[in-house]
Amino acid sequence: MTDALDQATVAAYLAGRFGDPYLYEPECASTQALLLGADLPEGAVAVTDHQTAGRGRHGRRWEAPPRTAILVSVLLRPPRERRAPELSLVAGVAVADAVDRATGLTSQIKWPNDVMLNRRKVAGALAELAGDAVVLGVGLNVNQTRAELPADASTEPASLRTVTGEEHDRAAILGDLLLRLESCYDAWCEHGLDPLYPELGARNFLHGRRVSVNGVSGTAGAIHRDGRLELLTDEHTTVTVESGEIAYER
C-alpha cells in the first residue's frame, strides 16, 4: 500500500465533482483555513497529512500524528433555503457509509456530528460558515494505534485500525468518502434531510440512551427531519434540541 494522499495518488479514486480542484499540503495549520474565504468553485477539496492547528467543535483541537488519518475539507455553496447545521448530519451519513465499506462493520451516527464504530468515535465533522459558503471538514481516524489516539478526548476515540486490527488504504477511503458526500449533499440540496432520514434513524447511536444536553437530562429519541434530536426528559416532557454538547451514558 503506498498510503499517500497527494493528487497523483488520489486521482485514481476521484470520480465526481468533489475533489475538483484538489488542494494537497503535506502539512498545514488546518484544511478548514485553506478553504475559508477562498475564491474556488463548490467541490474544491483541501487535504493534508498533518495539521498543526486542527480544529474540532466547541473550540477544541483535532489532532492526529502525520499520515495516520483522513483530514479533509470541502467547499460548499448550499442553496439559501437549506440550514447549514444539518450538514454535519449529511457528512455523518456519508462518512458512516464509507467506514462500513472499508471495514465490513456497521457504524453509527452520534448526533450531531460524530461517527461511532464499536461505541467509540472514529470521525467528526465540522461545518464553518464563510458568507454564503460553508466549509465542511471531516477528520477520520484511520491508521492510528491505540497509543496515538488522543487520551483526553470527550468521547472515547478509536481508529479503523484499532477496531479491525488492520491498516487501511487512506486514498481509497478518501475517494469513496468524497463520492458518498457528493451524493448525500446533492440529495440534501434538493430535498433536505428527507432522503437521508431512514439512514439517520437506522444509525442513531443515542436512541434510547440516557443523555444530558444544555442542562436537560432524559432519554434520547429520534433525529427529526429538521435535524433536531428528540429528548424525553426526566419530567416526562418531550423536547427537541437544535445543538449543544451531549453527555451520554455508555
In the complex, residue closest to ligand BTN by CB: 124
92 binds ligand BTN (CB under 6 A): no
Least Å distance, CB 83 to ligand BTN, is 18
∠ CA 247-123-82, rounded to 5°: 85
Range in contact with ligand BTN (rule: CB under 6 A) among 69-77, 104-112, 230-238, 241-249: 69-77
**Nearest approach, Cβ of 182 to ligand BTN (angstroms)?**
17
Considering the rule CB under 6 A, would residue 62 count as an interface residue with ligand BTN? Answer: yes
Long-range CB contacts for residues 92-95, cutoff 8 Å, separation at least 24: 92/125, 92/200, 92/203, 93/180, 93/184, 93/196, 93/199, 93/200, 93/203, 94/177, 94/180, 94/181, 94/183, 94/184, 94/185, 95/123, 95/125, 95/138, 95/140, 95/177, 95/180, 95/181
Q: Which amino acid is at 2?
A: T
Q: What is the identity of the amino acid at 222?
A: A
Member of 54, 112, 175, 192 binding ligand BTN (CB under 6 A): 54
Which residue stretch of 48-56, 100-108, 156-164, 194-202 sits at the interface with ligand BTN (rule: CB under 6 A)? 48-56
Place of cell 465540522: 126
Contacts by 189-192, CB closer than 8 A, 24 or more apart: 189/78, 189/79, 189/82, 192/82, 192/86, 192/225, 192/226
Using alpha carbons, select from 10, 89, 75 the residue that is nearest to residue 42. 75
Per rule CB under 6 A, is residue 30 in the interface with ligand BTN?
yes
Q: Is 73 in the site for ligand BTN (CB under 6 A)?
A: yes
CB nearer to ligand BTN: give 113 or 144. Answer: 113
Q: How far is the CB of 232 from ligand BTN (least distance, A)?
A: 26
Of 139 and 218, nearer to ligand BTN (C-beta) is: 139
Of 9, 24, 32, 158, the one binding ligand BTN by CB under 6 A:
32
From residue 107 to residue 146, what is the string marking binding to ligand BTN with x (rule CB under 6 A)? Answer: ------xx---------xxx----------xxx-------
SS3 113: coil
Q: Report how many residues bind ligand BTN under the rule CB under 6 A.
A: 21
Which among 245, 201, 243 is positioned nearest to 223, based on CA atoms?
A: 201
Measuring CA to CA, which residue among 190, 178, 192, 184 is closest to residue 227? 192
Q: Is 43 in the site for ligand BTN (CB under 6 A)?
A: no
Residue closer to ligand BTN by CB (options 114, 182) is 114
Interface with ligand BTN (CB under 6 A): 30-32, 51, 54-57, 60, 62, 71-73, 113-114, 124-126, 137-139
